[in-house]
Amino acid sequence: MDLITKLLKNSKDNKTFLSIWTYSDDEKFWFGQILDFNDELAIIQHYTKYGKKDGIIVTRISEIISIDFEDDYSKAMKIVIENSEILANETEFNFEYFESENWKNILLNQLKGRTDFITSVEINNEYFSGFVKDVDEDNFIINCVGSLGENEGNALYKIEDLKGFRINDIDNRKRLLLFNSRKKDCR
């Protein structure tokens, strides 16, 4: 039995997750479990990055470039799939209404120390996600959290460079779920 067949069989028999890269789409991959396969075709139960089933993919085995398995992404997605209903529910964040040119400082101070959700801040057309740790008149510190929940350390930014906020959106709820899962694993 060749290696591709072993991986497909293992996914089908043990419901393990695979990331499948194909020649027809070299920028993206399909994440899921093998429902069935033969010498020519693989049938994949596809999942979104938020852990929801997203249809069936049928691909030719000869189109497969590579298969990732037992990696950090697969481990993280298993957690996301198991908690997809929780992930879909948004925790409410009520911020105090403010009408001020100092709105960034006001909002940052309301976010400071909150660990029940993750905030993304837009700086120079990039988003940085994590927990706001400290704020002064000109700067703030954010404990950055990666897309798979990894603690990426602290960073200081100038408030004047801050262009916008994304608070507790689904990408950030996913980061928080994975961050908290990693913390549990470390105990």
96 and 163: one domain? Answer: yes
Q: What is the C-alpha to C-alpha distance for residues 19 and 30, in angstroms, rounded to an integer?
A: 6
Contact 119, 166 (CB under 8 A): yes
37 and 95: one domain? Answer: no
Total-model pTM: 0.86
User: Domain residues for 128?
Assistant: 90-186
Q: What is the C-alpha to C-alpha distance for residues 97 and 155, in angstroms, rounded to an integer?
A: 27
101 and 65: one domain? Answer: no
Kindly indicate the confidence band of residue 187, based on its pLDDT and cuts at 50, 70 and 90: low
Does pLDDT of 27 surpass 80? no
97 and 165: one domain? Answer: yes
94 and 182: one domain? Answer: yes
pLDDT in the model for residue 96: 75
102 and 181: one domain? Answer: yes
58 and 95: one domain? Answer: no
What percent of the chain stands above pLDDT 70? 97
**Domain end (from 31, 53, 82):** 82
138 and 54: one domain? Answer: no
> What average pLDDT does this structure show over 110-119?
94
Does pLDDT of 1 surpass 80? no
Does pLDDT of 186 surpass 70? no
96: domain CATH number? 2.30.30.100
**Domain end (from 36, 51, 82):** 82
pLDDT in the model for residue 70: 94
> What average pLDDT does this structure show over 137-165?
96
Report the 10 Å Cβ neighbour count for 121: 26
78 and 163: one domain? Answer: no
Contact 91, 116 (CB under 8 A): yes
Report the 10 Å Cβ neighbour count for 91: 10
152 and 107: one domain? Answer: yes
- The tokens of 175 are what? 């980061």
Q: What is the mean pLDDT of the chain?
A: 93
**Domain end (from 82, 112, 133):** 82
Residue-wise DSSP of 124-161: TTEEEEEEEEEE-SSEEEEEEE-TTS-EEEEEEEEGGG
Domain count, the chain: 2
30 and 106: one domain? Answer: no
> What average pLDDT does this structure show over 117-126?
95
Per residue in 74-107, pLDDT (tens digit) is 999 999 999 999 888 887 777 776 677 888 999 9
> What average pLDDT does this structure show over 122-133?
96
Kindly indicate the confidence band of residue 29, based on its pLDDT and cuts at 50, 70 and 90: very high
